[in-house]
Amino acid sequence: MVQLTALSEEQFARFAKLVYSRAGIHLPAEKRSLLSNRLRRRMRALQLDSFDQYYDILAAASTSEEELPHFLNVVTTNETYFFRNTQLWRMFSDKLLPEFVAKHGNKSKRLRIWSAASSSGEEAYTIALILREKLPDFHSWRVEVIGSDISRNMLERASKGIYNAYALSKTDAAVKTKWFTKDGENFRLADEVRKLVKFQFHNLRDAFPQRDFDLVLLRNVLMYFDTPMKKLAVTNTANAVGAGGYLYIGDVDPTRTSAELMEAMKLQPLTPGLYHRPAAPAASAFAKNG
Ligand SMILES: C[S@@+](CC[C@H](N)C(=O)[O-])C[C@H]1O[C@@H](n2cnc3c(N)ncnc32)[C@H](O)[C@@H]1O
């Protein structure tokens, strides 16, 4: 039988320290009962009776590597859906995309976008859907969209491209009909769009192996981090932005109000949530048109 009591303060502190050292996620004391409930579910699956037994598995060299991904799945919040934040996607279609087309359309015809902390993939696939619908002469382009996350469960779900009705609740009916097919209770994204996105493991604490992106999205994840980890995440995503490219933080964006984060980022702030690495003076549509 799995114990029904909550984690003691001391047990919580040990797990919180582990979460922080592995994922940079700061778990405040008020999350004690939430963490207790989530851990219990995992312990039930492993048929363990106590939080201490579970901690020992995570701490032991022989079992830690195998169990850590499950533990991180338990502690991360993965809420996401297609077309989350309509304002962002309007700005992407109306301002950024035309600028990318003007920049690359006559030369490389290559477009690179990274959805950092992509969870189950809805954000990365939203980008792919917009590109597939709105990028003129789509088939003549080399489009690379990368989604990354620390949760291996989420990466696995993302690569399947199968979603429930909630994930599509903010998706235009015409887009849904054109690019999704009903699969029981769920909806399956067309292979043609699914194949535009590659998913890979990445911890925002670490530098990203690819660079030179036209756009990097870092949304709805900084709020789980303390300042040193926010700094790392902002620096690692900003460093992957190419000349003339953009970083979008948006939503809950702590950067503008923190001199320390702005300093770490080294990009130019434009509209709320949007940051730019100038290619040459006044190269951005925002600089010209406001
Ligand atoms: C709330 S979801 C955000 C999904 C999407 N970006 C959006 O805005 O809809 C947060 C994601 O951040 C991931 N995450 C948490 N800590 C991370 C870390 N250190 N490195 C990479 N991803 C992390 C979680 O696994 C989760 O999938």
Instruction: Measure 118 CA to ligand 1 centroid, in angstroms.
Output: 6
Do 122 and 167 contact (CB within 8 A), yes or no?
yes
What separation in angstroms does the CA of 277 have from each of 108, 241, 265, 270, 286?
19, 7, 10, 10, 12
Instruction: Measure 119 CA to ligand 1 centroid, in angstroms.
Output: 5
Ligand 1 binding pocket (C-beta < 6 A) is 23-25, 76-80, 84, 117-119, 123, 149-151, 154, 202-205, 219-221, 224
**Domains of the chain and CATH, by start:** 9-75 (1.10.155.10), 86-289 (3.40.50.150)
Do 169 and 81 contact (CB within 8 A), yes or no?
yes
Summarised one tens digit per residue, pLDDT across range 224-267 is: 899 999 999 999 999 999 999 999 997 677 888 888 999 999 99
Predicted pLDDT at 280: 66
Summarised one tens digit per residue, pLDDT across range 183-227 is: 999 999 999 999 999 999 999 999 999 999 999 999 999 988 999
pTM above 0.75, yes or no: yes
